[in-house]
A = this chain, B = another copy of it.
Amino acid sequence: MQIRSTLPTLKDVARLAGVSPITASRAIHRPELVAEATRMRVKQAVEQSGYVPNSLAGGLTSRQTRLVAAIVPSVAHSLFSDMLNALISRLAADSYETTLGISNYEPEHEETWLTAMLSRRPDGVVLTGTEHTTRTRRLLLNANIPVVELWDYSPHPMDVAIGFSQEDAGRAVFRYLAACGYQRPAILRSEDSRAHRRAQGFARAAAEANAPEPVQIVFPESSPQAGRGREALGALLVKAPDADAVFCSSDALAQGVLAYAHELGLNVPQFGVFGFGDQALAVNSIPALSTVRIDGACIGRLGAEALITRMRGAPATPAQDVGFEIIARGSTRPAEPLRRQ
């Protein structure tokens, strides 16, 4: 148990400034309600005493914590880290801080995090996707605070959802690859549920086009996606030597695949490599790489803004489809966005 010298309280500041505690409080948090002179004296007292407000006490009284609880599946993927950066920064601009939980793509972990986090009485919650345990939903319902679900478009969100249809994205990629003339596109992906739904869309589009069912190489979720490139492509070339294009579940994976493809002497883009995310774009060092462009930072910012709106008590658009964009580079045909919202 840490023995810490008692920190100065508002009472100390008030005494120093020769005012009542509530006036000191106002001078700090709502300076416009206080006379110039008083404000100055309080300000000086704050500096002199090294006062740091105690927001536990403040939150207890005001029932506002200026805290947001966010839970993401991972911080290792650029999409999520971009989002997180934008989310945290945007929230900070409105004086909200963020507690971060990492679910490792497991709804049960999400629930565990949420349980712990709710005891801090956050003003709002940010979750990923729309798959949550029953208890998670119940907790959130009882807590009765704004909730934003990011990444998936859902017509019936718990509160607010901002994202896009993973299925549509997968479908669009298949159609694009088919339009480029690829005959046997395959899928290299991790196990997570969003990648899974993209793959479903992809396969469905294939079925609709009477194309053969796409071969899938699936590997467990894990941090170093790029590292999977080698083994995933290797596995594919064994399982489906005639594959002529791959849809990767992340940009990092696509880069790893590309590096290995180069090494094998595969001719890209005759062998098509398709990524997912925003990095391959920034990486314009990779002209052969096409991608489904998703702007994680944008989702983070929009999420923060929707949440702020809700935390202010205003209703927000319950569901927002931010869409996606097909970016084609080095393809056998000119680029042509299939869908843009």
Report which A residues bind B (CB closer than 8 A): 1-5, 7, 50, 52-60, 63, 65, 67, 74-76, 78, 81-82, 84-85, 88-89, 92, 95, 97-102, 113, 115-121, 123, 138-139, 142-146, 223-224, 226-227, 229-230, 255-256, 258-260, 262-263, 279, 282-287, 311, 313
Alpha-carbon separation in the docked complex, A51 to B297 (Å)? 36
Can you identify 22 A-B contacts, CB atoms within 8 angstroms?
Answer: A3-B313, A5-B144, A7-B143, A50-B142, A52-B115, A52-B139, A52-B143, A55-B119, A55-B120, A57-B60, A60-B60, A84-B100, A88-B100, A88-B101, A92-B101, A95-B116, A98-B99, A223-B282, A229-B283, A258-B259, A259-B283, A263-B285
Q: Nearest Cβ in chain B — how far from A74, in angstroms?
A: 7
Q: Could you say how many copies of this chain the assembly holds? A: 2
Which residues does chain B contribute within 8 Å of A285, judged by CB atoms? 226-227, 229-230, 256, 259-260, 263
Which residues does chain B contribute within 8 Å of A284, judged by CB atoms? 227, 230
Contact A259 B286 (CB under 8 A): yes
Contact A226 B75 (CB under 8 A): no
Which residues does chain B contribute within 8 Å of A52, judged by CB atoms? 115, 118-119, 139, 142-143
Which residues does chain B contribute within 8 Å of A224, judged by CB atoms? 279, 282-283
Alpha-carbon separation in the docked complex, A81 to B1 (Å)? 31
Alpha-carbon separation in the docked complex, A121 to B7 (Å)? 10
Q: Nearest Cβ in chain B — how far from A10, in angstroms?
A: 12
Which residues does chain B contribute within 8 Å of A101, judged by CB atoms? 88, 92, 97
Contact for A81 among B81, B118, B260, CB less than 8 A: B81
Alpha-carbon separation in the docked complex, A1 to B314 (Å)? 9
Known contacts A227-B284, A282-B223, A283-B226; decide if A117 and B145 are in contact (CB<8 Å): no
Alpha-carbon separation in the docked complex, A322 to B143 (Å)? 43
Alpha-carbon separation in the docked complex, A113 to B193 (Å)? 34
Alpha-carbon separation in the docked complex, A223 to B83 (Å)? 12
Contact A82 B76 (CB under 8 A): yes
Which residues does chain B contribute within 8 Å of A76, judged by CB atoms? 78, 81-82, 85
Contact B283 A256 (CB under 8 A): yes
Q: Nearest Cβ in chain B — how far from A43, in angstroms?
A: 15
Known contacts A259-B258, A279-B226; decide if A54 and B85 are in contact (CB<8 Å): no
Known: A52-B118, A99-B100. 6 other contacts (CB 8 A): A4-B145, A53-B119, A55-B119, A57-B60, A75-B75, A92-B101
Alpha-carbon separation in the docked complex, A116 to B146 (Å)? 22
Alpha-carbon separation in the docked complex, A119 to B138 (Å)? 30
Alpha-carbon separation in the docked complex, A262 to B97 (Å)? 44
Contact B75 A97 (CB under 8 A): no
Which residues does chain B contribute within 8 Å of A89, judged by CB atoms? 102
Contact A56 B88 (CB under 8 A): no
Which residues does chain B contribute within 8 Å of A84, judged by CB atoms? 75, 100
The 5 closest A-B pairs by CB, nearest first: A224-B282, A230-B285, A227-B282, A55-B119, A75-B81
Q: Nearest Cβ in chain B — how far from A232, in angstroms?
A: 10
Contact A116 B102 (CB under 8 A): no
